[in-house]
Amino acid sequence: MLLWKTIKGVRFRQLKSVLVFLFKHPIFMISTIKATFDVVRVSQKEFPNTHGFHNKANAFRHALWNIFIAKQCALFSRKSHEVISWTKEFTDWHEDFSPNEEPARIMDLHNNYIGRELFLKTPESTHKQWVILMKEQLHKAVQIVSVEDVVNYPSQLVYLEK
Protein backbone atom coordinates (compact mmCIF):
# COMPACT_ATOMS: atom_id res chain seq x y z
CA MET A 1 0.00 0.00 0.00
CA LEU A 2 2.80 2.43 0.91
CA LEU A 3 4.67 1.47 -2.26
CA TRP A 4 1.59 2.24 -4.40
CA LYS A 5 1.12 5.59 -2.63
CA THR A 6 4.77 6.42 -3.34
CA ILE A 7 4.46 5.42 -6.99
CA LYS A 8 1.30 7.51 -7.42
CA GLY A 9 3.03 10.52 -5.87
CA VAL A 10 6.05 10.41 -8.19
CA ARG A 11 6.34 13.47 -10.39
CA PHE A 12 7.84 13.34 -13.87
CA ARG A 13 10.98 15.18 -12.70
CA GLN A 14 11.52 12.58 -9.98
CA LEU A 15 10.98 9.72 -12.40
CA LYS A 16 13.45 11.32 -14.78
CA SER A 17 16.06 11.56 -12.02
CA VAL A 18 15.64 7.84 -11.21
CA LEU A 19 16.11 7.01 -14.89
CA VAL A 20 19.29 9.10 -14.95
CA PHE A 21 20.68 6.90 -12.17
CA LEU A 22 19.63 3.79 -14.05
CA PHE A 23 21.34 4.86 -17.27
CA LYS A 24 24.37 6.29 -15.48
CA HIS A 25 25.32 2.96 -13.96
CA PRO A 26 22.72 0.20 -14.52
CA ILE A 27 24.62 -2.48 -12.58
CA PHE A 28 25.00 -0.22 -9.54
CA MET A 29 21.32 0.74 -9.77
CA ILE A 30 20.23 -2.90 -9.80
CA SER A 31 22.63 -3.56 -6.93
CA THR A 32 21.11 -0.63 -5.03
CA ILE A 33 17.60 -1.99 -5.51
CA LYS A 34 18.64 -5.42 -4.23
CA ALA A 35 20.43 -3.88 -1.25
CA THR A 36 17.36 -1.77 -0.46
CA PHE A 37 15.08 -4.82 -0.35
CA ASP A 38 17.60 -6.69 1.80
CA VAL A 39 17.84 -3.82 4.29
CA VAL A 40 14.08 -3.39 4.56
CA ARG A 41 13.74 -7.13 5.22
CA VAL A 42 16.46 -7.09 7.90
CA SER A 43 15.13 -3.90 9.49
CA GLN A 44 11.60 -5.28 9.64
CA LYS A 45 12.91 -8.47 11.26
CA GLU A 46 15.08 -6.63 13.81
CA PHE A 47 12.69 -3.73 14.49
CA PRO A 48 9.16 -4.75 13.45
CA ASN A 49 7.14 -1.74 12.32
CA THR A 50 9.39 0.77 14.11
CA HIS A 51 12.20 1.51 11.64
CA GLY A 52 10.15 4.12 9.77
CA PHE A 53 10.34 6.71 12.53
CA HIS A 54 13.21 9.00 13.56
CA ASN A 55 14.47 6.61 16.21
CA LYS A 56 17.38 4.22 16.76
CA ALA A 57 15.81 1.67 14.41
CA ASN A 58 15.82 4.29 11.64
CA ALA A 59 19.47 5.12 12.35
CA PHE A 60 20.25 1.39 12.08
CA ARG A 61 18.37 1.12 8.77
CA HIS A 62 20.06 4.12 7.16
CA ALA A 63 23.58 3.09 8.12
CA LEU A 64 22.99 -0.54 7.15
CA TRP A 65 21.44 0.58 3.85
CA ASN A 66 24.65 2.39 2.91
CA ILE A 67 26.74 -0.62 3.91
CA PHE A 68 24.59 -3.03 1.90
CA ILE A 69 24.56 -0.77 -1.18
CA ALA A 70 28.34 -0.41 -1.06
CA LYS A 71 28.84 -4.16 -0.57
CA GLN A 72 26.48 -5.05 -3.41
CA CYS A 73 28.11 -2.53 -5.78
CA ALA A 74 31.58 -3.69 -4.74
CA LEU A 75 30.77 -7.02 -6.36
CA PHE A 76 31.05 -5.17 -9.68
CA SER A 77 33.83 -2.69 -8.96
CA ARG A 78 37.12 -3.00 -7.11
CA LYS A 79 37.37 0.80 -6.86
CA SER A 80 36.15 1.65 -3.37
CA HIS A 81 36.03 5.38 -4.18
CA GLU A 82 33.64 4.65 -7.08
CA VAL A 83 31.42 2.46 -4.89
CA ILE A 84 31.33 4.99 -2.04
CA SER A 85 30.73 7.87 -4.44
CA TRP A 86 27.75 6.05 -5.98
CA THR A 87 26.38 5.10 -2.57
CA LYS A 88 26.63 8.68 -1.32
CA GLU A 89 25.18 10.16 -4.50
CA PHE A 90 22.20 7.80 -4.48
CA THR A 91 21.40 8.04 -0.77
CA ASP A 92 21.79 11.85 -0.82
CA TRP A 93 19.41 11.90 -3.79
CA HIS A 94 16.97 9.78 -1.80
CA GLU A 95 16.89 12.43 0.93
CA ASP A 96 15.88 14.99 -1.71
CA PHE A 97 13.44 12.61 -3.41
CA SER A 98 11.49 11.90 -0.21
CA PRO A 99 12.22 14.98 1.89
CA ASN A 100 12.01 15.14 5.67
CA GLU A 101 12.05 18.10 8.00
CA GLU A 102 15.59 19.47 8.38
CA PRO A 103 16.55 17.69 11.64
CA ALA A 104 15.44 14.30 10.27
CA ARG A 105 17.17 14.94 6.94
CA ILE A 106 20.47 15.83 8.65
CA MET A 107 20.12 12.78 10.92
CA ASP A 108 19.60 10.50 7.90
CA LEU A 109 22.53 11.99 5.98
CA HIS A 110 24.76 11.60 9.04
CA ASN A 111 23.76 7.96 9.60
CA ASN A 112 24.26 7.27 5.89
CA TYR A 113 27.81 8.61 6.27
CA ILE A 114 28.43 6.40 9.32
CA GLY A 115 27.36 3.37 7.27
CA ARG A 116 29.72 4.21 4.42
CA GLU A 117 32.60 4.69 6.85
CA LEU A 118 31.89 1.35 8.53
CA PHE A 119 31.85 -0.33 5.13
CA LEU A 120 35.27 1.12 4.31
CA LYS A 121 36.65 -0.16 7.64
CA THR A 122 35.16 -3.66 7.26
CA PRO A 123 34.63 -4.34 3.52
CA GLU A 124 35.03 -8.10 3.84
CA SER A 125 32.33 -8.53 6.49
CA THR A 126 29.15 -10.45 5.76
CA HIS A 127 25.62 -9.12 5.99
CA LYS A 128 25.14 -10.99 9.25
CA GLN A 129 28.33 -9.49 10.71
CA TRP A 130 27.24 -5.99 9.73
CA VAL A 131 23.84 -6.47 11.35
CA ILE A 132 25.62 -7.45 14.57
CA LEU A 133 28.01 -4.49 14.25
CA MET A 134 25.15 -2.06 13.66
CA LYS A 135 23.25 -3.38 16.67
CA GLU A 136 26.41 -2.78 18.72
CA GLN A 137 26.59 0.75 17.29
CA LEU A 138 23.05 1.39 18.54
CA HIS A 139 24.30 1.07 22.12
CA LYS A 140 26.48 4.12 21.46
CA ALA A 141 23.83 6.03 19.46
CA VAL A 142 23.03 9.49 20.72
CA GLN A 143 19.69 11.25 20.80
CA ILE A 144 20.02 14.74 19.36
CA VAL A 145 17.72 17.70 19.81
CA SER A 146 18.94 20.02 17.09
CA VAL A 147 20.75 19.94 13.77
CA GLU A 148 23.79 21.54 15.40
CA ASP A 149 24.18 18.53 17.72
CA VAL A 150 25.18 16.23 14.85
CA VAL A 151 28.71 17.67 14.56
CA ASN A 152 29.39 16.64 18.15
CA TYR A 153 29.06 12.95 17.22
CA PRO A 154 31.16 12.41 14.06
CA SER A 155 31.49 8.65 14.50
CA GLN A 156 28.24 7.71 16.23
CA LEU A 157 24.74 7.04 15.03
CA VAL A 158 22.24 9.72 15.97
CA TYR A 159 18.47 9.73 16.34
CA LEU A 160 15.69 12.17 17.21
CA GLU A 161 12.97 10.16 18.95
CA LYS A 162 12.96 7.36 21.48
Q: How many CB atoms sit inside 10 A of residue 69's CB?
A: 30
User: Can you give the pLDDT at residue 8?
Assistant: 55
pTM, 2 dp:
0.88
E-only strand ranges, the chain: 142-143, 158-159
Q: How many CB atoms sit inside 10 A of residue 51's CB?
A: 22
Torsion (CA) 31, 68, 105, 29 in degrees, nearest 10: -10
**Bigger pLDDT: 71 vs 145:** 71
| Phi, psi (deg, nearest 5) at residue 38 | -60, -45
User: Can you give the pLDDT at residue 66?
Assistant: 98
Q: Which residues of 115-154 are buried (b: 16+ CB within 10 A; e: fewer)?
A: bbbbbeeeeebebeebbebbeebbeebeebeeeebbeeee
> 124 pLDDT band (50/70/90 cuts)?
very high
Q: Report pLDDT digits (tens) over 127-143.
A: 999 999 999 999 999 99
What's the angle, vertex CA 109, arms to CA 106 and CA 110, rounded to 5? 85
Pairwise CA distance, residues 5 & 18, whole Å: 17
Q: Report pLDDT digits (tens) over 82-94.
A: 999 999 999 999 8
Pairwise CA distance, residues 113 & 63, whole Å: 7
**Residues 121, 129: contact at Cβ < 8 Å?**
no
